Amino acid sequence: MRPDPGRKILFVFGTRPEALKLAPVISAARKDKRFRAVVCLTAQHRQMVDQVLDIFRIRPDYDLDIMRPDQTLGDLTQRLFSRLKKVTEKERPGLVMVQGDTTTAFAVALKSFYQKIPVAHVEAGLRTFDKYRPFPEEINRALITRLADFHFAPTPDAKKNLLREGVSPDRVFVTGNTVVDALNRIRSAAGRGAKRSGGKKMILVTAHRRESFGPPLEAICRALADLARRNPGIEILYPVHLNPRVQVAVRRILSGVEGVRLLPPLSYRDMIAAMERCYFILTDSGGIQEEAPSFGKPVLVLREVSERPEGIRLGVARLVGTDPRKILREAERLLRDPRAYASMVRKRNPYGDGKASERILDHLARRWEDTVRG
């Protein structure tokens, strides 16, 4: 049985989180005779996206190669619009699928709407209700909601957000988060690039969100420096994002601080290895908030608000913001108070069970005719 040529899905993505969370859906769609999958890469994050594609053995059908040094969000959107049009006109997909809250995802959804191509949104419904936190992701995600025809909510909380905004209930499907699918698939093959040294407790750090640029990121770095100096029995492992604004701030404050290891961005396999070996995690990443519960590792979230409240409600994550005093206080509490640490160690992941990709395709198959061709 050949894939139905009329059920052609165009997957478009540009960053590592998008690639990671769409890869299991793409892999499942390519094995599913009900669909034909076409993959278009925008290469918003060239190096990091290629790592994920290699893991899942996905070769894009199109590579738009839109990234340019120091480009603005407007430049990115304009370039994506012009190059995506050629792809959609050639392929004539029945559906375009996007993931999450990136500028790529929003621009693709908007361009698809202009061409009257239905849009499926994976990881729909996450909200902080503060349009500048995260920036520009909060608004990107809300605008994609207005453009999408299928809304794949990872959790019941996300579904409630969509229903409150007036999305029709028959267009919202709770699937779990596809990042758990990806994590389950490759976890056993994780690399060995982030080893603990000397028996020290290793703390994993990631911080690179756009709203943290400037004083907030500098405050985070000062807190890390103080944490290392006050606790010689720890090792802080910080893979530093390639964005120049992150690189300059982090290296100016943390280079040469004993107990702090600054590394280039880790491959996803090595990031998994780091999460497995660390004692706890300090991060502003949404994806790591979703992944860490699978490892039973506490997460201190370097943000004032989070669109992922499930982990905070369950107790596996805690908001600490960017105030150096609060970061230091909460980190040392985990280091010194075994009961506080144990209270954040859980084995249940509130974000999924590893079967989200299959649910997404099943929902599409059931609703395809009345949405795509109706």
Q: What's the residue count for the chain?
A: 374
Side-chain half-sphere CA neighbours of 223 within 13 A: 25
Task: From 310, 287, 246, select the one nearest 15 (Cα to Cα).
Answer: 287
At CA 109, angle to CA 108 and CA 113, rounded to 5?
Answer: 115
Round to whole Å and give the CA distance between 127 and 161: 7
> From start to end of the chain, where are the E strands?
8-13, 36-41, 62-63, 95-99, 119-122, 150-153, 172-174, 201-206, 234-239, 260-263, 280-283, 299-301, 317-319
Residue for token pair 């990872």: 154
Name the token pair of 133: 């936190």
Name the token pair of 164: 């409150």
Round to whole Å and give the CA distance between 230 and 279: 17
Round to whole Å and give the CA distance between 8 and 91: 8
137 is catalytic: yes
* Candidates 137, 138, 211, 290; catalytic one: 137
123 is catalytic: yes
332 is catalytic: no
CB-CB contact of 177 with 352 (8 Å): yes
241 is catalytic: yes
* Candidates 171, 210, 245, 261; catalytic one: 210
Round to whole Å and give the CA distance between 265 and 286: 16
Round to whole Å and give the CA distance between 28 and 214: 41
363 is catalytic: no
101 is catalytic: yes
Residues 6+ positions from 182 with CB-CB distance below 8 Å: 20, 21, 23, 24, 56
Round to whole Å and give the CA distance between 44 and 47: 9
* Candidates 16, 18, 32, 101; catalytic one: 101
* Candidates 123, 181, 270, 310; catalytic one: 123
Round to whole Å and give the CA distance between 60 and 38: 8
Name the token pair of 361: 């395709």
* Candidates 241, 269, 308, 359; catalytic one: 241
Give catalytic residue positions.
Answer: 101, 123, 137, 208, 210, 241
